[in-house]
Structure formats: C-alpha cells, structure tokens
Structure 1
C-alpha cells in the first residue's frame, strides 16, 4: 500500500509540475556563434514562444568543437524543461563521425520536440568556372578528376556532406578543402582558391545577386522561396538530389512528457506564425514544426542518410 501511495504522489508531482511549467526563465543554448542561421532562427522563434509561455527565454551562445560543447552542456542539465539546445544537420553527422567518442549520448541523451525549419542548400561556383549548369559541372569534373576543389565550413558540415553526396551520385572526383566557418570559404570561392561552395541561400544568394559567384542549382525538389530564380538540381541537368540543413530543438532525455508536449506545441505555433513564415521565406527557410514523434523520425532518417555518405566517403572527424 505504501508503494502505491509513493507512486501516486510521484505522478501527482510530475503532473503538477507540468501544469505550472514554466515558472521561471528558460535557458536555450545555441552551440554556435551569433548571427548564423542557427542563432537567427532560434532567436526569432523563442521570442514568439516566450510571449506565449509567459516567461523569458534566454538564448545562450556556447560555440565550440562542432557544436559538441553546447550540446553536452544541455545533455547534462536537469531534465525539467528549463535547458534546451538548438541543433542543426551537423548533429546527425556527429552521431557517425564521433561514434562512441562524445561526452554524451547524441540520440538517447535527448528528446527532439520540434523541427523548427529546413533550409535547402544551394550549389554555387566561382564566376570563371566553365560550367553553366550541373550537367556541365559533372562533365567537367569527369574530364578533370581530382582537379576541382570544393569548400565547406568544416568537416561534417551539411555543405561538406551534401557535396560528397553529389560526388558519389554523379561518380566524380573532387577535393574537399575544409575551412573554419563559411566566411573564409566564401572568400576562397570568389578568389578561385576553390571552385565550388555549397551552403544556405541566406548566406550565398546576396553574393550571387551581387555578381560575385554563380548559382547553379538548389538541392531541392522544388524551387525555393526567396531564390526562385535558381533551378532545382534536376532542372539544371544534375541528379535529383535533395539536401538541406535544418534547425531542431532538443530537451534532455527524461524531461516530463507533458513539458515536451507544451514545448512542441508552442514551437509549432511560433514557426507557423504568419509573420515568422514570411521572414523565413524571404531568406529561403521553410518553417516546419511538427510533433515530437515526427521530429524523432526525421532525425533518425537524417542520421541514416548521412551515415551512409560518411562511410562511403571515408570522412574522418577533426581531431
């Protein structure tokens, strides 16, 4: 009888806590520096969520070690809904890249509760690169194996693995040149130190429209709002590949289901707000939202997809 009483009391405490959640500010960790897509999306969405939840959400930038430092901080925080982390596609890659070497469990250590947004990636080239579309790029790379360089913001970044996927699908040999961030990679493609750069439209389209680089295609099944002048991969004569970076919200494993449900509902409502949808659309970002179950399924699919690419390419994590 005493055991039953203890169990009922525990359940009552959990439910009571969920009903009063949140009753203090929420710390929301972004494991990257300010100003990038991860930070921008998080701040836009959490501002709307905070107004609805009635408590401040404090965005805390904790960059370092390919997002590992910030993710580790939240993974080891109390599972009470007051510590959240934003992750991007690199989180899915880290599962394979750092297999067994992370200070936290990247899958079992978290509860995904919202896929906030997806940003299809864009393929750009140096202005003097001879290809006018993806068909010509593939033909040129096949005729010049190992002589075309492509850059990325770092090993395991969505842009890196997406270009590896293009290599594998098209059967071409190109050389990866990793940089510490997108800014130096962008300078390199403009100066022809590298010939190809893949990244998000919000970063690259201003330089395309400014005439500094050429856009060949979007890794998407349809043209992307905010960059409708850029054809899809299939329209540009390439393989019909779809790849994106994305922004996802995670809570520590063990967070009460009722709290997860509240966070998920508020995030979904925020990203589908008319004003936010317009702001996202203008920079080539697609709002999603969804349930915790849908978010977990998406993450599992992304882990499997990029694990295959990483293994085939023999990509090794930075030491």
Structure 2
C-alpha cells in the first residue's frame, strides 16, 4: 500500500512538473494566449491627442468592436513624437494581442524614409492588421487669410515668402508631408510648425496663430461649417462625396498634388496569429455596418477594410509613393 501511494504521488509530481515546463515555453504561452483571446480589455492606442482624426476613428469603431469581441475596447491616447510614443507603448506591452494601435501613414510609410534614428523598425517590429480608411487631406486656411481659392493662396504666398506658417500633427505625418509637397510643387516658401496632435494644431489655425493646415475633414469640417476656416481644396485624386462643391487642389491650381493619408490597425511583432486574425475579421465586419460607412463617408473618409493581405499589398505601393515625396521635398529628420 505504501509503495502504491509513493508511485501515485510520484506520477502527480511528474505531471505537475511537465505542465509547468510547458507553460514557460514561448510557443505554449502564445498558444494559450491565442486560445484565450480576448480574455481581458482590449487596448487601442492612438498616437495623437484627443480630437484628431485617428482618435475620432478609434472612438467610432470602438463600441462596435467591443460588442464583437465581448470585451471592453479602451481607446488610449499616447500623444507625442509624431505617434512614436504610442508605437513604443505598443511594443512594450505584452505580445498577447490585447494591445494594438491605430497606425497612420507616418508610422509605416513616411517616417522610415525621413527619420535617421527612428526608434522602431517599421518593416519588422510592426504587423499591419487591417486598413481602416483612406483619408484625403483638405487644404484649409484661417478666414483672416485674404484668399478664396488655391491660385489666390499661391499668389499670396509668393508675395509674402517665409511669413506663412502651416501646422501639422507632427514631424513625419501626412499633414507635414502634404505641406512640404505643396511647397515644392507650388514653388512657395511656407514654414512648417509641428504639434503633438491635430487637435492642438487645429486650435492654433482657428485662432489665427497659424495660417494653413492640411487636415482630414473628419476633424476640420465642423470649423469650416462654423465659418472659422476656409476649405480651398481636397488633396486627393477625386472630389469627396460628402463635399462635392470643394475642388481638388490639383484641379484648382497645383496639378498632380494628391497626397492621400490613411488609418489602419497595427500590432506588435510576436502577437499570436489567432489574435490578429480575430481582430482583422471583427473590424472588417464593423466597417461594413451601414451606420459606420455613412458616418465615415459624411466625415470625408473612404472606408477600405479588406483582408490583412490586401493591406500588405497596398503598403508596398504607398511606401513607394511617400518615399518619392520625401525625396522630392528633400526632408530629413534626426
């Protein structure tokens, strides 16, 4: 009897030891995390201050994604360094799928080509999950600027070289590159003023401290409708469905000017594939909801969605486009 008990307890000890050994293996941990996903609140980081386009996009899809995942979706703003503080926060979080971010054009397609000491490797540290929207930028001026259209602005800028400032949500963002591209293509001398987010930049444009901004309609049209800003043109290839009366900058005076930004969801390298697949599929469904599509269309955004591979294919072409804009504008940041 005593011998039998010893054998029994020995088997239990071996089983426990084996389970503990398996639990500490990276592959086993990832498998367990993937199977349990989501097992706690899902954090969606935004690299800019509240009030900007990426913040608005995240808060529009957040409640519906929360319903789909069965867990609370927490939108967490980490403004600063043109979105890089949020990237750092995502890369430092556990790679269990519960922390992802709304990545913008600058994160993956601009900064890698213009920032020498970028604190992350865009091609290897970040996994593209799903393309949310394309966001044609709008060329906006404070109403105190004495111009009514793009041609008048170009003439005014040439008559006042170096005195007109344009705001952006940070160095290396789509708004920054749009301004630099306009500067080069229109042959005008305008000065860039970077902020920590669109909300802060917009405040200074509305107040008249800065004259110009290239921003997405979702965070700017309310000011246009209130008569605080004047929309001169859309920096896209086509007029927007929601604002057909506003011409493209290309047709209004600067041919070929069409730097379109975008927003997407990205995850840190090492995130369980099952978690990425689940988020991609649920977000794709949310983007197909009629009320979400209507809301984004009204905000001047073009809903994209699609598969992870669709987004990867898009990035190949988009990176090429923005790298050429960076090169053409001769911009380099330390």
TM-score bracket for this pair, using the shorter chain length: 0.7 to 0.9
Checking the alignment, whether the CA contact within 8 Å between 2:171 and 2:194 is kept in structure 1 is yes
Checking the alignment, whether the CA contact within 8 Å between 1:205 and 1:227 is kept in structure 2 is no
Q: How far did residue 270 of structure 1 move?
A: 0.8
Q: How far did residue 84 of structure 1 move?
A: 1.0
**CA distance in 1: counterparts of 2:304 and 2:289, whole angstroms:** 11
Q: Following superposition of structure 1 onto structure 2, how do residues 115-264 of structure 1 map, counting pairs within 5 Å?
A: 115-142=131-158, 144-183=160-199, 185-186=201-202, 188-190=204-206, 193-264=209-280
Checking the alignment, whether the CA contact within 8 Å between 1:95 and 1:303 is kept in structure 2 is no
Does residue 95 of structure 1 match 2:112? yes
What residue in structure 1 maps to residue 8 of structure 2? none
Q: Deviations over 1:213-237 (max 9, x none)?
A: 3211011222223333211223323
Change (3 A) 1:176 1:100: closer
**CA distance in 1: counterparts of 2:259 and 2:36, whole angstroms:** 40
What residue in structure 2 maps to residue 291 of structure 1? 307
**CA distance in 2: counterparts of 1:32 and 1:187, whole angstroms:** 14
Q: How far did residue 71 of structure 1 move?
A: 0.9
Change (3 A) 1:291 1:179: same
Q: How far did residue 171 of structure 1 move?
A: 3.1
Unaligned runs of at least 5 residues, structure 1:
1-5
Checking the alignment, whether the CA contact within 8 Å between 1:87 and 1:248 is kept in structure 2 is yes
**CA distance in 1: counterparts of 2:39 and 2:208, whole angstroms:** 54
Q: Deviations over 1:290-318 (max 9, x none)?
A: 2112212333433333333334434343x
What residue in structure 2 maps to residue 105 of structure 1? 121
What's the Cα RMSD here? 3.0
Checking the alignment, whether the CA contact within 8 Å between 2:249 and 2:255 is kept in structure 1 is yes
- Which residue of 88, 101, 124 maps to 1:72? 88
The TM-score with structure 2 as length reference comes to 0.80
Q: Following superposition of structure 1 onto structure 2, how do residues 15-34 of structure 1 map, counting pairs within 5 Å?
A: 18=34, 20-34=36-50
Change (3 A) 1:264 1:187: closer
Q: Deviations over 1:148-187 (max 9, x none)?
A: 4333233222212101112222333323233454455445
Matched positions, count:
310
- Which residue of 298, 304, 327 maps to 1:282? 298
What residue in structure 2 maps to residue 306 of structure 1? 322
Bigger radius of gyration: 2
Q: How far did residue 16 of structure 1 move?
A: 7.3
**CA distance in 2: counterparts of 1:16 and 1:180, whole angstroms:** 38
Three-state SS of the structure 2 residue aligned to 1:255 is coil
Three-state SS of the structure 1 residue aligned to 2:294 is helix
Does residue 63 of structure 1 match 2:67? no
